[in-house]
Chain A
Amino acid sequence: MALSEKMTINMGPQHPSTHGVLQLILELDGEVVQKATPHIGFLHRGTEKLSEHRTYNQIIPLTDRLDYLAPMSNNLGYCLAVEKLLGITDKIPERANVIRVIMAELTRLKSHLVWLATHALDIGAMTVFLYAFREREVITDIYEKVAGARMTSNYIRIGGVTEDFPDGVEQDIREFSAAMPDLVDMYEGLLTGNKIWQKRTMGVGVITAEDAIDIGLTGPSLRASGVDWDLRRDAPYCGYETYDFDIPVRTEGDTFASYKARLDEMRQCCRIINQALDRLKPGPVHADCPKIVPPAKEDVVNTIEGLIHHFKIITEGFEVEPGEVYVGIEAPKGELGYYIVSDGSPMPYRMKIRPPSFVNLQALPQMVEGLLLADVIAIIGTLDIVLGEIDR
């Protein structure tokens, strides 16, 4: 075989480093990648088609299964879009908004911990994997106490959240967010100064700010290229504008920069959670919209109005004014957008999800061109993709 012979290899869909069922057709010259063609769709479940045949409340569990590493962010984006469509955004009670912020930030930590664990493992730093999953387990336990499920939470609902925090959870979250910054320092101690880690990430997969905007990168990958854009500050929802936090921006645009940006973001998550916990005052967690929010169980059993509303909401759903909205939130992986068209019926006429990973993955061929095969793994890690939301 001549040394310059080109080789085409198949990476995935069954490959541990593609983070799911991603298939890449790589054209290689020796170890150098000349062209990468992603093939997606192996996990396509037709979420958008299904949502045209479900009432608005029945769609929330479907959103859990998009980015299954950050289910509450998906719930939140969807519910905010429906609330905007209904025009009840300002009726959400303060306590529900604070709970949403706490859970959204815990979700961000949860997602970033899996990213850190798998990214480091792919590159060969195994220790971090074990520590990061240990911490993720704590968040998963909090999820279980709050929502009853460890991954498919279905917790954030139209008009508020399912139920108030159970006793003791506030204390768990407080302890966790107090301990987390030191743990992030520990991860940094294992990686940042490590020469192998630096060689594998610095200067790898560099993308400039102009290219990143042109290709549509969002989230920490975009901020690593020097674009200061975070929807929590630029299009605030759930009262994010009242919290004091920084948005970590790096300028190098490489894998190391996005690693640093995400770790700094984890520290900021803890800051937001601490502020939110201090604001948690007793109060309702459901909006006062009896035709939209299902009534409490006691009301269903004891009052005729409660029974009627319960029956109507469960069997028919609620009607929504015709119109269309687009709502984007800062999910852990970037901008998660929901575009919903309503025709006045209790089911969306059309729902388009803009998953951050789908658009971010598009940048992969451009980023890996001319790099080594091993760098492809590092770049898949840095883009932080989840095939559940790419394929929908």
Chain B
Amino acid sequence: MCDQASVEKLKSRFSSDVQDVAEFRGELTVTVEKSRIVEICTFLRDECGYNFLCDLCGVDYLGQEPRFMVVYNLYNITTKKRLRVKVAVDEKNANVDTVSGVWSTANWPERECWDLMGISFNNHPDLRRILMAADWEGHPLRKDYPVQGPDREPYQGRLS
């Protein structure tokens, strides 16, 4: 199921921007340079046939530098192959260019990523909160956001 050929193509076209290629359980993950994400995604869509964006999300690696990863799970409907693309996003500069111009699917998942993870997307057509209320403060899926919610004592377990 691994699509090594596309990764090779990607490497030859964007040699300096492919930072890492990892394989785990038969799934390929390519980490690329943040500033070139739109070009790389357009290349993957047009040249490698990844015409379907399954999912997009952020992962918070609190304590690591850079802190966030934005993960794109791609699918090629013709060859039935999957590929995962990641970009590293640091905390001070938590933004990345939108790929909603490449796949319209990205619109809502990017809004969700902004809402829950606090990573903003440059040039996004409609970057508003989506799941939380419009006036909510904070980004709940960040690792430093308490699971019980803000301003509440942590659950200590049953007393009896």
- Assess whether B132 is in contact with A48, with CB atoms less than 8 Å apart: no
CA of A323 to CA of B29, assembled, Å: 11
A-B contacts, 10 listed (Cβ < 8 Å): A48-B116, A53-B147, A214-B105, A216-B54, A323-B25, A337-B55, A339-B71, A362-B105, A362-B108, A392-B131
* Contact residues, B42-57 vs A (CB, 8 A): 51-55, 57
> With A227-B77, A235-B80 given, is the CB distance from A44 to B131 under 8 Å?
yes
- Assess whether B133 is in contact with A337, with CB atoms less than 8 Å apart: no
Q: B83-127 vs A: 1/0 string, CB under 8 Å?
A: 010000000000000000001110111000000100000000000
Give every chain B residue within 8 A of A215 (Cβ-Cβ).
104-105
Whether a CB of chain A sits under 8 angstroms from the CB of B8 is no
CA of A349 to CA of B54, assembled, Å: 20
Give every chain A residue within 8 A of B145 (Cβ-Cβ).
49
Give every chain B residue within 8 A of A324 (Cβ-Cβ).
24, 27, 29, 84
> With A350-B59, A350-B60, A359-B105 given, is the CB distance from A234 to B141 under 8 Å?
no
Q: A82-108 vs B: 1/0 string, CB under 8 Å?
A: 001101000000000000000000000
> With A41-B131, A216-B103, A216-B105 given, is the CB distance from A326 to B55 under 8 Å?
yes
* Contact residues, A345-390 vs B (CB, 8 A): 349-350, 352, 354, 358-359, 362
- Assess whether A328 is in contact with B54, with CB atoms less than 8 Å apart: yes
Chain A nearest CB from B143 CB (Å) reads 8
Chain A nearest CB from B146 CB (Å) reads 10
Whether a CB of chain B sits under 8 angstroms from the CB of A180 is no
Whether a CB of chain A sits under 8 angstroms from the CB of B7 is no
- Assess whether B140 is in contact with A46, with CB atoms less than 8 Å apart: yes
- Assess whether B24 is in contact with A339, with CB atoms less than 8 Å apart: no
Give every chain A residue within 8 A of B103 (Cβ-Cβ).
214, 216
Question: Main secondary structure on chain A at its contact with chain B?
Answer: mixed
Closest chain A residue to B80, Cβ basis = A234
- Assess whether B130 is in contact with A41, with CB atoms less than 8 Å apart: yes
Give every chain A residue within 8 A of B60 (Cβ-Cβ).
350
Q: Interface residues of B toward A: which range?
A: 35 or more
Give every chain B residue within 8 A of A216 (Cβ-Cβ).
52-54, 103-105
- Assess whether B108 is in contact with A214, with CB atoms less than 8 Å apart: no
- Assess whether A391 is in contact with B107, with CB atoms less than 8 Å apart: no
Whether a CB of chain B sits under 8 angstroms from the CB of A133 is no
- Assess whether B147 is in contact with A49, with CB atoms less than 8 Å apart: yes
- Assess whether B131 is in contact with A339, with CB atoms less than 8 Å apart: no
CA of A49 to CA of B129, assembled, Å: 17
Whether a CB of chain B sits under 8 angstroms from the CB of A183 is no
CA of A257 to CA of B103, assembled, Å: 25
Whether a CB of chain B sits under 8 angstroms from the CB of A330 is no
Q: A330-347 vs B: 1/0 string, CB under 8 Å?
A: 000001010101000000
> With A328-B54, A354-B54, A358-B108 given, is the CB distance from A337 to B80 under 8 Å?
no
Chain A nearest CB from B126 CB (Å) reads 9
Whether a CB of chain B sits under 8 angstroms from the CB of A213 is yes
From B25, B116, B133, give the contact of A84 (CB < 8 A).
B25
- Assess whether B130 is in contact with A214, with CB atoms less than 8 Å apart: no
- Assess whether A49 is in contact with B130, with CB atoms less than 8 Å apart: no
* Contact residues, A208-256 vs B (CB, 8 A): 213-216, 227, 229, 234-235
- Assess whether B108 is in contact with A49, with CB atoms less than 8 Å apart: no
Whether a CB of chain B sits under 8 angstroms from the CB of A151 is no
Q: A250-284 vs B: 1/0 string, CB under 8 Å?
A: 00000000000000000000000000000000000
- Assess whether B108 is in contact with A359, with CB atoms less than 8 Å apart: yes
From A48, A213, A325, give the contact of B25 (CB < 8 A).
A325
Whether a CB of chain B sits under 8 angstroms from the CB of A191 is no
Give every chain A residue within 8 A of B6 (Cβ-Cβ).
none
Give every chain B residue within 8 A of A350 (Cβ-Cβ).
57, 59-60
Give every chain A residue within 8 A of B129 (Cβ-Cβ).
41
CA of A175 to CA of B140, assembled, Å: 48
> With A324-B24, A391-B131 given, is the CB distance from A339 to B57 under 8 Å?
yes
Closest chain A residue to B71, Cβ basis = A339
Chain A nearest CB from B133 CB (Å) reads 7
Q: A48-78 vs B: 1/0 string, CB under 8 Å?
A: 1110110000000000000000000000000
From A44, A50, A85, A323, give the contact of B147 (CB < 8 A).
A50
CA of A216 to CA of B104, assembled, Å: 8
List of 9 A-B pairs having minimum Cβ-Cβ separation, nearest first: A216-B105, A41-B131, A354-B55, A352-B57, A323-B24, A44-B131, A234-B80, A350-B59, A214-B104
